């Protein structure tokens, strides 16, 4: 029984590691949904005033989406790889196609949260109703044999999202809300459909244009993940040991806890890496081969002691943070 449980945990661990991007995007989407629900309950208050409704409604949909998009771009490591590529190499060894692919990857990942926010906002319909209630054509509204009064129509319609307006026009209020929520939800479902089609086409195009087989692509992804994790872990230990050595030189001693003492004793650090080495392993990376053997990252290429002139670049296929 214990062996079966351990095997199941191992399977789940491997599954989640292989689906890390999908799970990350799902968690981002779920977090955005929760934030949108909280915003609707706590912070959304339609002003119910002509001219203000439109600005407030569009702002409630657009500004949080824009902020989430910018945060997504900032938190993406590919962004800074692209910046480093432009800074150190002026993108001279990188053609337009891979730059476009990398930029598309950055924008696509950053778009998960804002698209989710926009979709949930449209499906709820509150911001859309607030923004467009005053623009409903009064002549198109009827309740039985009674038409909507044209006097002060804009002011009355603008108050509908807050439940305001004369009591004898409550039936019109329900009609306006129903009509605008129908439009809002229709746009929301259309946006979901368009995004789903774009994601499908992008995945198909990515695998079709890749020079690697599906299994080698999966291996490359695993290599990038493992290299990044090991690099970050080793960099943390290296910086801690280096800091301890420098503090000891300054004070003559260093106050270490038991774990730090073990690190300093186990991993002696003699020096630091020069800036050209850091630059060599930083930036956009295309899949390359050296005499038929793959080079999976800039760090891999540097470890082999190779320069850009000694390797062959195949059809553009982008690596991760290198």
- At residue 64, φ and ψ (nearest 5 deg) are -60, -35
* pLDDT for res 317: 55
203-219 average pLDDT score: 85
The full 3-state SS of 112-179, as one line of letters, equals HHHHHHHHHHHHHCHHHHHHHHHHCCHHHCEECCEECCCCCHHHHHHHHHHCCCCHHHHHHHHHHHHH
Instruction: Name which residue leads in pLDDT, 86 or 19.
Output: 86
* pLDDT for res 6: 46
CA distance 127 to 60: 7
136-163 average pLDDT score: 75
Is the pLDDT at 286 greater than 80? The verdict is: no
* pLDDT for res 48: 86
As a whole number, the mean pLDDT across the chain is 80
End-to-end CA distance of the chain: 42
Q: What is the pLDDT of residues 213-265, one digit of tens each?
A: 889 988 998 999 999 999 999 999 999 999 999 999 999 999 999 888 888 88
> Are the C-beta atoms of 311 and 286 separated by less than 8 Å?
no
189-214 average pLDDT score: 88
Instruction: Give the pTM.
Output: 0.71
Lowest mean pLDDT among 119-123, 268-272, 280-284, 317-321: 317-321
pLDDT class for 163, splitting at 50, 70, 90?
Answer: confident
CA distance 33 to 39: 10
């Amino acid at each position: 029984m214990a062996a079966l449980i351990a095997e199941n945990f191992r399977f789940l661990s491997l599954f989640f590691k292989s689906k890390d991007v999908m799970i990350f995007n799902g968690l981002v989407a779920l977090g955005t949904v929760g934030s949108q629900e909280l915003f609707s309950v706590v912070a959304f208050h339609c002003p119910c005033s002509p001219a203000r409704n439109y600005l407030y409604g569009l702002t409630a949909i657009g500004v949080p989406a824009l902020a989430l998009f910018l945060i997504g771009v900032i938190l993406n490591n590919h962004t800074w790889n692209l910046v480093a590529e432009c800074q150190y190499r002026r993108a001279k060894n990188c053609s337009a196609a891979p730059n476009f692919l990398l930029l598309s990857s950055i924008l696509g990942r950053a778009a998960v949260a804002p698209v989710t926010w926009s979709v949930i906002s449209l499906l709820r319909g509150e911001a859309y109703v607030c923004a467009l209630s005053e623009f409903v054509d009064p002549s198109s509204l009827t309740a039985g044999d009674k038409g909507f009064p044209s006097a002060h129509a804009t002011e009355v319609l603008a108050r509908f999202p807050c439940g305001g307006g004369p009591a004898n026009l409550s039936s019109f209020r329900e009609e306006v809300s129903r009509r605008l929520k129908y439009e809002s939800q229709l746009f929301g479902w259309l946006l979901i459909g368009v995004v789903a089609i774009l994601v499908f086409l992008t995945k198909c195009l990515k695998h079709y244009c890749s020079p690697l087989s599906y299994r080698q692509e999966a291996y490359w992804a695993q290599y990038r993940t493992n290299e990044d994790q090991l690099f970050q872990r080793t960099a943390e230990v290296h910086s801690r040991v280096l800091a301890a050595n420098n503090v000891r030189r300054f004070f003559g001693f260093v106050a270490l806890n038991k774990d730090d003492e073990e690190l300093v004793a186990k991993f002696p650090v003699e020096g630091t890496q020069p800036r050209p080495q850091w630059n060599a392993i930083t930036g956009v990376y295309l899949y390359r081969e050296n005499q038929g053997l793959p080079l999976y990252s800039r760090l891999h290429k540097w470890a082999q002691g190779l320069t850009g002139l000694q390797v062959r670049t195949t059809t553009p296929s982008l690596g991760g943070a290198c």
